[in-house]
Structure 1
Amino acid sequence: MFASVIVSVSSNSVDRLFTYKIPDSLVDTIRVGHRVFIPFGNRDIQGFVIDITETTEFDISKVKEINRIMDGTPVLTKELIQLSKKIATYYIDRQISVIEAILPVALKAKTKTILKLSETAGSNATELFDELQKNNEIVVSNLDKNHLKSIIPFMKSGEFVEETIVAQHTKKKTNRAVRSLNTNRMPSERAVKQRELLEWIESEAEPVTLLSIKDAGYSVQVIDALEKRGLVERVDIVVDRDPYESRVFFEAERHTLNKEQQVAFNKIEYSMKQYKHETFLLHGVTGSGKTEVYLEAIESALEAGKDAIMLVPEIALTPQMVNRFKARFGDYVAVLHSALSHGEKYDEWRKIKEGRARISIGARSSIFAPFKNVGVIIIDEEHESTYKQGERPLYDARQVAKWRAEYFNCPLILGSATPSLESYARSEKGVFTRLELKHRAKAQPLPETTIVDMALSRQEGNISIVSDILREKIIDRIQKEEQIILLLNRRGYAHFLLCQDCGHVPMCPNCDISLTYHKSNGTLMCHYCAYETSVPNKCPECQSSSITFRGSGTEKVEEILRDMFNTEVVRMDIDTTRNKGKHETLLMHFEDENIPILLGTQMIAKGLDFPNVTLVGVLNADTTLNIPDFRANERTFQLLTQVAGRAGRGDKTGEVIFQTYNPDHYSILDAQMNRYKEFYMKEMEYRRIARYSPYFFHVLFIITSENLEHCVKASHDISKILLENISNQSIVIGPSPSPIERINNRFRFQILLKYRHEPTLKDILEQLDQRYYVAYKKSGVSLRIDVDPQFIM
């Protein structure tokens, strides 16, 4: 038998399958998806078994053997292996890079698989274990072929239990526990506590933790006495790291679907019962109860014996979503997102792989949850750009979800109040099935929205970031003990430092961008390369003391709000949520303590549901409007509509204030009136004329180098290759300097390719990728190929 193996070396030169002979002793053991140690050159490295065949076209005498396997069971399913190849081909990347993105970080670290003796082991298993064990465990990778073959029957019978030990902080978590030695002896009748405790321990199928014993009122001395008499022993038991172990989830009250929700669910359920892949666009206004439809769809999948994947765009949304899902489905829910530690994420992944969890909830990377029988995939807020990976592999979770749904013949549900133009256009053409929720679930009215012209406000003498109208509304809500959400999509204290005498603005030495002032640590900071420097007392150029801060970020506005309203403010941005668990802590503090104001960046704009929030204010509605990107209008409309939907979700009427210097822009006016279809028609006409998505597909080429001349030369070279190989129906824009021309001391040029149909495009992209992989080693010129980019900056 022979195995096709992909090696864990991130290099284009070895981005292919290598053939290895499977030793006779491993023929019945090795499966597709196993991690293995293989001889490669003059060293042993890790690889993944991609395929197994009975014969090979190579000279058998020259085919090397697999040394050993790393795990008792495969870490990849056949479906995930196929998926990794599809992603690598579509997004122009190496398959091994995709595989490493699919697996948790813990499996990329140094690991070892060990075997432990189970309590049900017989004499033969015990004898073999005693022969092979060291420190009461057997390390699988240390076994020779004969020993490995001999343990397989005991693994299948469950007498040997497999565990994966991960180096450093990703080791399995253990708790100290006590188990009975089953001697059939009991303490004397006078030792009442000892007898009670021993009877309890013997009645349990698993060892009882010391913590549970102490909580039940038994002292350490009682345990010591039983141990001294040889009746019990202390052991370590493996427990899952549960990020929600301190939380109690009460069973949620079931909501009856309203008419719109029921119609939507019936169509999804019919597709599920037909084992038919269908993509549904669930277009519902904010507060229309899309999550209830998700819950019903997932329950239907579970009842059919299948599993479910649920994606959310932001970590900030995860706590509230987890609360609802845990309350409904309990321990069936696994959570996967970047805020978990490596160990917690690894344990959640294991729960899924071992079948102990049936539902995964998380951000982008949780689309790779290792389920083997998916019944439904749901992407909430499907329009969000965060579903696109920002570093290689540059996959889009929405496209990956579509491929997985096709493989499992199950529905894919894309939910949003403001769908992407691409998704809505596909629903217009019947490629997606559109389901509409036009009313809020509890029949609450949508909030009334007022637009405030900040240019006019300044002319009237108010130079504050808070307009007179918004200030009055905030005072009113504070007096009523209602809550307010304020959005400012810019963090830090001030945008930049300015010398009023010579006009000098401190710039990042590594990037072509001004430094942002952060008052909390008293530094000027670059938000691209994280460069920091102290704030100068005098202008570095003219030595003038007339330096001032310009612009306002969330840090400064928090200070203004505290002074203006003499009240507590919860601020949520990257700076306040860096530490683990801070998202949930801040949101719980805002809700449980009824804090009057929640101020934040776009992470607070969607998905949050606070019944006492009756006022939403957007302090600068133009922030995303002024970005040099063809999706700027769409993102502005989406952000404003989403954040407006946070108001009036309970029994009280909501109100929204948009502060802007562009009061007549259609993105803002249509968001004010919640007119999605009208906005869609206007924006589609602009996209048609400008020949952008969804009328054209895009590939963005970013060329970077520390040498400007090399960067320019490579950019023109790539442009020439494209023009020589594509049809005249496609459009090449550039090369031109990127909007931010230098980041981290690397100059940046870009080229945008617009196309409708280019049969040989993948070949061209692969050739360019290979060419500049070699060029990077020689001259340091790097090429990044972004297929279906979300940003063109």
Structure 2
Amino acid sequence: MFASVIVSVSSNSVDRLFTYKIPDSLVDTIRVGHRVFIPFGNRDIQGFVIEIKETADIDVSKVKEINRIMDGTPVLTEELIQLSKKIASYYVDRQISVIEAILPVALKTKSKTILKLSEHAGNEATVLFNELQKNNEVIVRNLDKDELKKIVPFMKSKELIEETIIAQHTKKKTNRAVRSLYTGNMPSERAVKQRELLEWIESEDAPITLLRIRDAGYSVQLVDALEVKGLVERVDVIVDRDPYDTRVFFESERHTLNDEQQIAYNKIKDAMIENRQETFLLHGITGSGKTEVYLETIEHALNKGKEAIMLVPEIALTPQMVHRFKARFGDDVAVLHSALSHGEKYDEWRKIKEGRASIAIGARSSIFAPFKNIGIIIIDEEHESTYKQGERPLYDARQVALWRAAYFNCPLILGSATPSLESYARSEKGVYKRLELKHRAKAQPLPETTIVDMALSRQEGNISIVSDILREKIIERIEKNEQIILLLNRRGYAHFLLCQDCGHVPMCPNCDISLTYHKSNGTLMCHYCAFETPVPNKCPECQSTAVTFRGSGTEKVEEILRDMFNTEVVRMDIDTTRNKGMHETLLSHFVEDNIPILLGTQMIAKGLDFPNVTLVGVLNADTTLNIPDFRANERTFQLLTQVAGRAGRGDKTGEVIFQTYNPDHYAILDAQMNRYIDFYKKEMEYRKIARYSPYYFHVLFTITSENFNHCVKASHDVSTKLLEHISNQSIVIGPSPSPIERIKNKFRFQILLKYRHEPALLEILEQLDQRYYVAYKKSGVSLRIDVDPQFIM
């Protein structure tokens, strides 16, 4: 038997399958998806078994043998292997890179797979374990072929249990516990506590941790006494690193679906019953109860014995969302997001792989949850750009979800109050089936929204970032003991430092962008390369002391609000939520201590449901409007509509204030009136004229080099190659400098390809990728190919 193996080497030159002989001792053990150690050149490396076949397609005498397997069970399913190949092809990347993105980081760190005796191990398994163990553990990769053959039957009978130990988390994976060695001899009747503790230990099916014993009021000395008498022994037990182990989730109250929700649910359920792959666009205004529809469809999938994946944007994965799912489904839920440690993510992934969780909820990478029988996939806030990976492989979780849904013949739900133009256009053409939720679930009215012209406000003498109208509304809410959410999508204290005598603005030495002032640590910082420098006392150019800060970020506005209203403010941005658990801590502080004002960047715009929030203020509605990207209008409309939906979600009426210098812009006016259809029609007209998505597909080529001339030359080369091979129906824009021409000391040029149908495009992209893979090694010029980009920057 032979195996086709992909090697864990991120190089185009080895981006193919290699044939290896399966040793006779492993023929019954190795399966597709196994990690294996293989000889490659003059070293042993890791690979993944992609295919098993009876014959080799090359000279058998030249075929090397697989050394050993790394895990008792495969880490990849056959479906995920097929998916990795599809992703690599579509997004022009190496399959091994995709496989590594699919698997948790913990499996790519220094790790070892060991075997342990189960509680039910028989004598034969125990004898074998004792023969093979070193330091009370058996490391799978150290076993030879004969030893591996011996352990297989005991793994199948679950007498030997497999565990992956991650080097940096080993100590957290086990807890000290006590198990009974009781054979009929009890402590003396005078040792009441010892007898009591032994009876408890004996009654349990599994060892009891010392932590549980102490919590129950027994001392460690009692355990010592029982151990001396040979009645118990200390052992290590595996424990999951549960990020929510300190939280208590009470079963939530079930809500009866209203008519709109019931209609939507019934149509999705019909597709589930028929095992029909269909994509539903659930278009529901903020507060319309989309989540309740999600919960019902997931429950139906579980009742059918199937599994569910629910994706939410990272910024929307709030404690409220997690609580809602945990309260409904308990331990059936595995949560995956970036705030977890590698070990916690690995344990959540392992719960899914071992069948101990049937629901995966999380951010973008959760789309790769290793389920084998998916019944429903849900993408909430489907319009969010964060579903597109920013580093290679540049996959889009929405596209991956479509592929997985097709494989499992299950429905895919795309939910949003402000769907992407692409999704809504597909629903107009019948490619997606659109379901509408036009009313709030609890029949609350949508908040009334007022637009404040900040240019007019300045003319009237108010130069503050808080307009007179918004200030009055905030005071009114504070007096009523109600809460306010304020959005400013710009972090830091001030946008930049300016010399008032010569006009000098300190720039990042590595990037073509000004440095942002952060008062908390007294530095000027680059938000692209993290360069930091102390704030100068005088101008570096003319030595003038007339330096001043211009613009306002969340850090400065927090100070302004505290002084203006003499009240406490909770600030949420990247700077205040860097540490683990701070997101939840800050929101809990806001709710439980009834803090009047929550100030933050776009991370507060969605996923929050606070009944006492009756006022939402957007301090600068133009921030996203001025970005040089064709989706700027769409993102502005979406952000404003989403944050406005945070107001008036309880019994109290909500109100919203948009502060802007563009009061007549249709994106802002339509967001004010919650007119999605009007905005959609206007924006589609502009997209059609300018030949942008969804009328055209896009590929963005970004060429970077530390040498400006090399960058320019390569850009023209890429452009020439494209023009030689594409049809005259497609459009090539560029090459031109990127909006930010230099980042991290690398010059950046870009080319945008717009096309509708190019059958040979994939071949062209692969040739360019290969060409510049070689070029990078020679001259340091790199080419990034972004298929279906979310940002043209």
TM-score by length of 1: 0.99
Aligned-partner SS, 2:792: coil
2-side partners of 1:155 and 1:251: how far apart? 37
Given the alignment of the two structures, is residue 718 of structure 1 paired with residue 722 of structure 2, yes or no? no
1-side partners of 2:763 and 2:186: how far apart? 76
Match of 2:139 in 1: 139
Which AA in structure 1 matches 2:229?
R
2-side partners of 1:732 and 1:171: how far apart? 55
Match of 1:792 in 2: 792
2-side partners of 1:472 and 1:593: how far apart? 23
Given the alignment of the two structures, is residue 770 of structure 1 paired with residue 760 of structure 2, yes or no? no
Distance 1:670 1:245, change over 3 A: same
Question: 1:137: how far off?
Answer: 1.4
Aligned-partner SS, 1:175: strand
Question: 1:172: how far off?
Answer: 5.6
2-side partners of 1:732 and 1:318: how far apart? 41
Q: How does 1:277-426 map to 2 (within 5 A)?
A: 277-426=277-426
Aligned-partner SS, 1:74: coil
2-side partners of 1:158 and 1:720: how far apart? 61
Aligned-partner SS, 1:712: helix
2-side partners of 1:505 and 1:179: how far apart? 68
Given the alignment of the two structures, is residue 491 of structure 1 paired with residue 528 of structure 2, yes or no? no
Q: How does 1:264-279 map to 2 (within 5 A)?
A: 264-279=264-279
Aligned residues of 1:703 and 1:784 also touching (Cα < 8 A): yes
2-side partners of 1:121 and 1:497: how far apart? 69
Match of 1:441 in 2: 441
Comparing 681-690 with 170-179, greater Cα deviation is found at 170-179
Aligned-partner SS, 2:318: helix
Given the alignment of the two structures, is residue 463 of structure 1 paired with residue 456 of structure 2, yes or no? no
Question: 1:195: how far off?
Answer: 1.2
Match of 2:532 in 1: 532
Comparing 319-328 with 191-200, greater Cα deviation is found at 191-200
Given the alignment of the two structures, is residue 454 of structure 1 paired with residue 454 of structure 2, yes or no? yes
Aligned residues of 1:165 and 1:171 also touching (Cα < 8 A): no
2-side partners of 1:446 and 1:427: how far apart? 25
Match of 2:230 in 1: 230
Match of 2:728 in 1: 728
Aligned-partner SS, 1:161: strand
Question: 1:747: how far off?
Answer: 0.4
Question: 1:219: how far off?
Answer: 1.6
Match of 1:639 in 2: 639
Question: 1:130: how far off?
Answer: 1.5
1-side partners of 2:171 and 2:61: how far apart? 40
Question: 1:526: how far off?
Answer: 0.4
Q: How does 1:110-189 map to 2 (within 5 A)?
A: 110-169=110-169, 173-189=173-189
Match of 2:737 in 1: 737
Structure 2, unaligned stretches of length 5 or more? none
2-side partners of 1:359 and 1:446: how far apart? 32
1-side partners of 2:369 and 2:589: how far apart? 31
Question: 1:182: how far off?
Answer: 3.0
Aligned-partner SS, 1:752: strand
Match of 1:195 in 2: 195
Given the alignment of the two structures, is residue 204 of structure 1 paired with residue 204 of structure 2, yes or no? yes
Aligned-partner SS, 1:344: helix
Q: CA RMSD in A?
A: 0.8
Q: Which runs of 4+ in 1 moved over 4 A?
A: none
User: 1:165-210: CA deviations, max 9, x gaps?
Assistant: 1112366611111100132211122221111111111111000111
Q: How does 1:386-785 map to 2 (within 5 A)?
A: 386-785=386-785
Question: 1:562: how far off?
Answer: 0.3
1-side partners of 2:363 and 2:441: how far apart? 25
Aligned residues of 2:351 and 2:357 also touching (Cα < 8 A): yes
Question: 1:316: how far off?
Answer: 4.7
Question: 1:589: how far off?
Answer: 0.9
2-side partners of 1:625 and 1:133: how far apart? 64
2-side partners of 1:19 and 1:423: how far apart? 43
Given the alignment of the two structures, is residue 38 of structure 1 paired with residue 71 of structure 2, yes or no? no
User: 1:590-617: CA deviations, max 9, x gaps?
Assistant: 1111110000001111121111000000
Aligned residues of 1:570 and 1:586 also touching (Cα < 8 A): yes
2-side partners of 1:315 and 1:38: how far apart? 41
Aligned residues of 1:318 and 1:362 also touching (Cα < 8 A): no
Aligned residues of 1:173 and 1:241 also touching (Cα < 8 A): yes
Which AA in structure 2 matches 1:698?
H
Aligned-partner SS, 2:512: coil
Which AA in structure 2 matches 1:532?
E
Question: 1:119: how far off?
Answer: 2.3
Aligned residues of 1:614 and 1:653 also touching (Cα < 8 A): yes
Aligned residues of 1:701 and 1:785 also touching (Cα < 8 A): yes
Which AA in structure 2 matches 1:108?
K
Aligned-partner SS, 1:635: helix
Match of 1:47 in 2: 47
1-side partners of 2:168 and 2:287: how far apart? 44
Match of 2:81 in 1: 81
1-side partners of 2:318 and 2:366: how far apart? 12
1-side partners of 2:730 and 2:489: how far apart? 36
1-side partners of 2:31 and 2:647: how far apart? 54
Which AA in structure 2 matches 1:788?
D
Aligned residues of 2:318 and 2:608 also touching (Cα < 8 A): no
Aligned residues of 1:517 and 1:524 also touching (Cα < 8 A): yes
2-side partners of 1:174 and 1:588: how far apart? 31
Question: 1:314: how far off?
Answer: 2.0
Which AA in structure 1 matches 2:218?
Y
Distance 1:692 1:170, change over 3 A: farther
User: 1:422-468: CA deviations, max 9, x gaps?
Assistant: 00000000000000000000000000000000000000000000000
1-side partners of 2:140 and 2:170: how far apart? 19
Match of 2:247 in 1: 247
